[in-house]
């Protein structure tokens, strides 16, 4: 659940204004759900994007703070794709990240959308980027609880792991900026495409159309279909279990999309 900008204690606001000068106006971000606060912020030194999370206690980070710390560590190593991180503030039990504001709209993944070409270009570039040493999360570990052998998903490629349409901003001049790097991981390159598939389905692609779309990526085309089957089944099973515990509508939808993909892939 998001908090409101006005929840920030004075010492945090002071810390931010030390970097930006007086804050004139704030406006909540139109999407996302991890950070406690995500806002566009107009300041004396210009417009910024700010994400903030509250610690569990002065000594203890919660999952949102851990995600922000991770994102702050990774961002300086993926500047080709991501917004700049200008500063961080830690005060009053909060961690705050101040980003370059990207003037952009969410990508449109519906079939036939010209944004799909921009997405493809971004993914090709991402797949060709060596994984920075700092990125240490191993993507295959996500599926350890649902399948015995996760080694097919392991690898050394840089994976963003959450290239949904709300994390890909398209600027008025057609540039793509990928946000939300908290869960960037290392793994087999094709896993990035596997994780993207439910977002293509959500935007209206049939599983067959989505399968066709990802084939242009060499990592996907060369992946062993048995490995992709194992991944697809594990991916769907993890979301099925997640939906059992979490009644949120978007979780049920993701469980359904991953199930549809897995059934299609097994059948094909
Ligand atoms: N640097 C930025 N500039 C402008 N808008 C941004 C920026 N980063 C993120 N956003 C917007 O805020 C939303 C939430 O940010 P995101 O980093 O995805 O947070 P969350 O982890 O909560 O999903 C994004 O979907 C996007 O619309
Ligand atoms: Mg997001």
pLDDT in tens, 205-223: 999 999 999 999 999 999 9
Q: Residue 23 in 3-state DSSP?
A: strand
DSSP 8-state symbol, 102: P
pLDDT in tens, 183-194: 999 999 999 999
- Mean pLDDT for the chain overall: 96
Task: State the distance from the centre of ligand 1 to the C-alpha of 32, rounded, in angstroms.
Answer: 6
Q: Residue 185 in 3-state DSSP?
A: strand
pLDDT in tens, 42-92: 999 999 999 999 999 989 999 999 999 999 999 999 999 999 999 999 999
Identify the pLDDT of residue 6. Answer: 87
pLDDT in tens, 76-87: 999 999 999 999
**Ligand 1 proximal residues by C-beta, below 6 Å:** 29-35, 38, 49, 83, 99-102, 166-167, 179-180
pTM over 0.75: yes
Q: What percent of the chain has pLDDT over 70?
A: 98
Yes or no: say if 231 and 267 are a contact pair by the CB < 8 Å rule. Answer: no
Q: Which ligand is nearest to the CA of 37?
A: 1
Task: State the distance from the centre of ligand 2 to the C-alpha of 196, rounded, in angstroms.
Answer: 14
Atom of ligand 1 nearest to the CA of 67: 21
- CATH fold group of domain 108-267: Aminoglycoside 3'-phosphotransferase; Chain: A, domain 2 (3.90.1200)
> In this predicted structure, which of 21-35, 131-145, 158-172 has the lowest mean pLDDT?
21-35
Atom of ligand 1 nearest to the CA of 103: 4
Query: What confidence category does residue 154 fall into, taking pLDDT thresholds of 50, 70 and 90?
Result: very high
In the structure encoding, which two tokens stand for residue 211, read together? 């399968």
How far, in Å, are 58, 130, 159, 164 from residue 189 at the CA level?
Answer: 38, 11, 7, 17
Decide if pLDDT at 33 tops 90: no
Yes or no: say if 266 and 231 are a contact pair by the CB < 8 Å rule. Answer: no
Q: Residue 112 in 3-state DSSP?
A: coil
Pocket test residue of 179, 181, 184, 199 for ligand 1, highest count of atoms within 8 A of CB: 179
Decide if pLDDT at 1 tops 60: no
Q: Residue 90 and residue 94: Cα distance in Å, rounded?
A: 6
In the structure encoding, which two tokens stand for residue 158, read together? 């840089």
The number of CA neighbours under 13 Å toward the Cβ of 26 is 17
Outline which parts of the chain fall under CATH 3.90.1200.10.
108-267
Residue listed under structure tokens 């790097």:
181
Tell me the CATH class for 5-100.
Answer: alpha beta
Yes or no: say if 71 and 82 are a contact pair by the CB < 8 Å rule. Answer: no
Residue 96: closest CA among 128, 126, 64: 64
Decide if pLDDT at 225 tops 70: yes
Name which residue sits closest to atom 20 of ligand 1, judged by CA. 32
Identify the pLDDT of residue 58. Answer: 86
Name which residue sits closest to atom 19 of ligand 1, judged by CA. 32
Yes or no: say if 194 and 232 are a contact pair by the CB < 8 Å rule. Answer: yes
Identify the pLDDT of residue 36. Answer: 87
Residues sharing a CB contact under 8 Å with residue 11, sequence separation 6 or more, in sequence order: 91, 92
Outline which parts of the chain fall under CATH 3.30.200.20.
5-100
**Burial of 188 from C-beta contacts in 10 A (0-12 / 13-18 / 19+):** buried
Identify the pLDDT of residue 2. Answer: 67
């Amino acid at each position: 659940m998001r908090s409101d900008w006005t929840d920030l204690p004075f010492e945090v606001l002071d810390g931010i204004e030390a970097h930006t000068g007086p804050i004139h106006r704030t406006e909540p971000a139109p999407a996302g759900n991890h950070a406690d606060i995500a806002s566009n912020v107009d300041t004396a030194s210009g417009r910024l994007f700010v994400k903030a999370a509250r610690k569990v206690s002065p000594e203890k980070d919660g999952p949102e703070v851990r995600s922000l710390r991770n994102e702050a560590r990774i961002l300086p190593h993926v500047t080709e794709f991501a917004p700049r991180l200008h500063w961080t503030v830690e005060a009053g039990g909060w961690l705050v990240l101040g980003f370059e504001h990207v003037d952009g709209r969410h990508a449109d993944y519906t079939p036939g959308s010209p944004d799909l070409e921009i997405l493809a270009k971004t993914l090709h570039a991402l797949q060709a980027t060596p994984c920075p040493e700092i990125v240490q999360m191993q993507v295959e570990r996500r599926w350890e609880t649902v399948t015995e052998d996760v080694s097919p998903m392991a690898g050394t490629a840089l994976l963003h792991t959450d290239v949904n349409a709300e994390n890909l901003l398209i600027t008025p001049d057609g540039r793509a900026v990928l946000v939300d790097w908290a869960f960037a991981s290392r793994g087999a390159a094709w896993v990035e495409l596997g994780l993207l598939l439910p977002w293509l389905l959500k935007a209206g692609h049939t599983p067959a159309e989505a399968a066709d779309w990802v084939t242009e990526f060499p990592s996907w085309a060369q992946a062993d279909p048995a490995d992709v089957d194992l991944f697809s089944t594990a991916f769907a099973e993890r979301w099925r279990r997640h939906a059992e515990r979490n009644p949120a509508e978007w979780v049920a939808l993701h469980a359904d999309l991953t199930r549809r993909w897995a059934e299609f892939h097994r059948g094909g």
